[in-house]
Amino acid sequence: MREEELILYKKFENGKVLSDMVWLMDSYRSGDNRMRPVFFECMHELLEMAATHGFSGNLWHCYLTNLLVNNENSYSVACEIRGEVEGSVNQLALHDIAIFKEFFDFDFTEMTEVFKAPEFGMVLDYESTADSSRIYSTKIRDRICYLAEQFAATENALEMKAVLTGFYREYGVGRFGLHKAFRVVHTDDGARIDPIRNISHVQLDDLIGYELPKKKLTDNTDAFVAGRKANNCLLFGDAGTGKSTSIKAIANEYYDKGLRIIEIYKHQLEDLNDVIAQIKNRNYKFIIYMDDLSFEEFETEYKYLKAVIEGGLEKKPNNVLIYATSNRRHLIRENYEDKEGRREDMHASDTVQEKLSLVYRFGVTIFFCGPDKKQYEEIVKGLAAKYGVAMEEEKLLAEANKWELSHGGLSGRTAQQFIDYLRGMEEK
């Protein structure tokens, strides 16, 4: 086998199984006593992958497919979202895919006989007990398993390359292609962007009411993913009104259009430039999301954020926007002394402008107001209908109104918590 001849598709994460299996394919007839334990170790690793990834069917094919869809190289990155590209890189990619086609087509019959391992047949036709994947969403997991079947059915490397390129065009490649949301982890080597593997499957329609705020948010996001001019966006207002839910919803609804969400916290602002450097040349649109953003008077990180958003020498990339949620309209704590000039400050108006300058960098500001009693009841009724809560309406609203008195007041969050309570009692 020709693993050492790969040109573009190299440096695989979890690539040891490939190296070991290629060694076995080349040398299993040699009688080397070291080989049989290695073969069983490879079986173990493939089964562990099935458990963590939720794969089924031919696990060897699933493993190879997983390598291909995660390997970020000059060809796969060029194809993400855009599809087929021109140039010499196509022939180099075809060369590598021809090698992978050999891996896919390898007949293990003789090897399993030599190693006296008929159990390997179950690895090639595995029935998974996992309903979900710890690595991928169910949709992506199923798509990778189907892609493995497509690869196995192709007649030649050219056909296999076309199928793989179609996947890159539809989903992209690597962590940014296969996941919709991410978090930032600070390391000694800089910022690392890790996938969030379990994001709430909410949609904007799940947020009852708030039609105008939702429209302003989707209008701005539509423009962004379409490559038109769009603004940084601040969602502010009362607690529990759906600001964070709206961000989760656009992560779900715009994933297929190439939008990705990266969550970053206030204490991680020093990593922001590093994060932007890692994503600015990718063919996705990225929203850097800051939840519950606000600063006390003694916190000066907002000055750093101002420069990153707008004001530094380096222009913010066109594929990056910043969305933030906050309970504060102006983000930074203000005092009456700021307004009335009673501080020991010779230029009190400058102090006010300094504090307001951050929020001015958000071109779109969207207000989420707490609901009145009628709106609260409409939210309760809508959620009850959505989740199939069986309770007469008059009693439902009476209980909902009693609930809000001792659970945070009128808000969408309070309504959701009330419905969750009823569902829990029904299940009990």
pLDDT tens by residue, 265-295: 888 888 888 999 999 988 899 999 999 887 7
Q: Decide which of 349 and 394 is more confident.
A: 394
Q: In angstroms, what CA-CA distances link 315 with 51, 231, 311, 403, 406?
A: 44, 14, 8, 50, 49
Residue 173 CB neighbours (<10 A): 25
CB 224 within 8 Å of CB 286: no
pTM value is: 0.83
DSSP state, 136?
A: S
For 181-368, CATH number out of 2.30.29.30, 1.10.630.10, 3.40.140.10, 3.40.50.300 equals 3.40.50.300
Helix (H/G/I), strand (E/B), else coil: 324: strand
Beta-sheet pairing, 259-263 with 181-187: parallel
Q: Mean pLDDT over residues 210-221, rounded?
A: 95
User: How far, rounded to the nearest angstrom, does the alpha carbon of residue 254 sit from its chain's CA centroid?
Assistant: 11
367: β partners: 236
Name 426's Cβ contacts closer than 8 Å, sequence gap at least 6. Answer: 389, 390
Comparing 22-31, 122-131, 300-309, 370-379, which segment has the lowest mean pLDDT?
A: 300-309
pLDDT at 350 over 50: no
| Mean model confidence pLDDT for the chain | 88
